[in-house]
């Protein structure tokens, strides 16, 4: 599809692959630091995120070399400061979609805003109990989203437990429904709630016509299907079939 597309759709498709490229770069670099075989790591990479010089990542000895030898010639260069940040990528996609305007901008903004807010919540929850300071935590949040202004990120940055995260997010009507059926202190079903909300927004992309958001929604919904299948397989393999409903998200 990418080779058949013209601008700006081709750029839109490329943006979809950048996220997987970032994941692949992180996988290769982390695996190399742990003295894993490069071929083994390349086999684990996502096919959408492959690029020509990806194998050269294993040669770099530090981040500066990583940028100079490999990343500078890839589309990921703008997202590289002290490290590769997915937040920089999300902001770039957001700006690009805003420029496209029309239904694409409307649909994609809704999806990307939720993605940014979800990432902020997950960063907060995952950093609870670690040595990450409040300032460092705030730096990891994207510079857009419902929580960005005025005080959402400020409140999230100081959260010490899941209930405080809940309190910070419930103030926004869009996220009240996510937490309404979760009990206090519950983390297990929060992921499922986020995925369900994401699927709801992705499915809405198919309600409108003549916009690029359907391509993005299609890819993301396929990924959700794969996640569902993997979860069901794990439950079957572990003889925990009763727990399948814990994380399966129904689509459409």
Partner 1 sequence: MGVSDSGVESADENVLDFLDSMDRYLVLVDSLSSILRQGWFDLASARHSMGSSRVSSALFDLKIHNASTTLQVQQADPGKVSPRFELCKWVSSENLHKSSEGKKFKKNELLQQEDSLQSDHKEPKDNISEDDGSVINDNNQAQKERLKSLSMFGALVAPKLRSSQLSFEKALETLVEIANTRASLLQAYDQVQENMKKTG
User: By the criterion CB under 8 A, which residues form the site for partner 1?
Assistant: 23-24, 26-27, 30-31, 34-36, 40-41, 44, 46, 122-123, 125-132, 185, 187-188, 191, 227, 230-231, 234-235, 238, 240, 243, 246-247
CB of 99 to partner 1, least distance (A): 29
CA 35 to chain centre: 27
Residue 106 CB burial class (10 angstroms; 0-12, 13-18, ≥19): middle
Distance CA 118, CA 97 (A): 19
Closest residue by Cα to residue 20 from 47, 38, 43: 47
CB of 239 to partner 1, least distance (A): 8
SS3 46: coil
**Toward partner 1, which CB reaches closer, 154 or 246?**
246
CB of 168 to partner 1, least distance (A): 17
Residue 91: partners with Cβ closer than 8 Å, 6 or more residues away: 142, 143, 144
Distance CA 24, CA 22 (A): 5
Distance CA 33, CA 86 (A): 20
**Toward partner 1, which CB reaches closer, 134 or 243?**
243
CB of 197 to partner 1, least distance (A): 15
**Toward partner 1, which CB reaches closer, 118 or 201?**
118
**Toward partner 1, which CB reaches closer, 4 or 238?**
238
**Toward partner 1, which CB reaches closer, 36 or 138?**
36
**Toward partner 1, which CB reaches closer, 177 or 240?**
240
Closest residue by Cα to residue 155 from 143, 169, 144: 169
CA atoms within 13 A on the CB side of 249: 23
CB of 155 to partner 1, least distance (A): 19
Tokens of 225: 């299907």
CB of 79 to partner 1, least distance (A): 17
């Amino acid at each position: 599809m990418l080779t058949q597309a013209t601008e700006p759709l081709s750029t839109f498709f490329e943006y979809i692959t950048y996220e997987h490229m970032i994941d692949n770069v992180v996988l290769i670099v982390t695996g190399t630091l742990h003295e894993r075989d490069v071929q083994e790591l390349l086999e684990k990479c996502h096919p959408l995120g492959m690029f020509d010089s990806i194998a050269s990542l294993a040669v770099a000895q530090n981040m500066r070399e990583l940028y100079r030898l490999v990343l500078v010639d890839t589309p990921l260069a703008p997202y590289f400061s002290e490290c590769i940040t997915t937040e920089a990528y999300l902001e770039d996609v957001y700006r690009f979609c805003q420029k496209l305007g029309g239904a694409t901008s409307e649909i994609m903004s809704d999806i990307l805003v939720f993605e940014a807010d979800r990432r902020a919540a997950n960063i907060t929850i995952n950093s609870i109990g670690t040595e990450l300071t409040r300032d460092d935590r705030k730096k990891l949040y994207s510079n857009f989203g419902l929580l960005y202004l005025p005080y959402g990120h400020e409140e999230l940055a100081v959260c010490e437990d899941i209930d405080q995260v809940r309190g910070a997010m419930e103030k926004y009507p869009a996220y009240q429904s996510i937490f309404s059926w979760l009990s206090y202190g519950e983390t297990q079903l929060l992921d499922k709630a986020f995925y369900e909300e994401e699927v709801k927004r992705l499915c809405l992309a198919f309600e409108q016509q003549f916009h690029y958001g359907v391509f993005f929604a299609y890819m993301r919904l396929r990924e959700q299907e794969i996640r569902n299948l993997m979860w069901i397989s794990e439950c079957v393999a572990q003889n925990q079939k009763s727990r399948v409903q814990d994380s399966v998200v129904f689509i459409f």
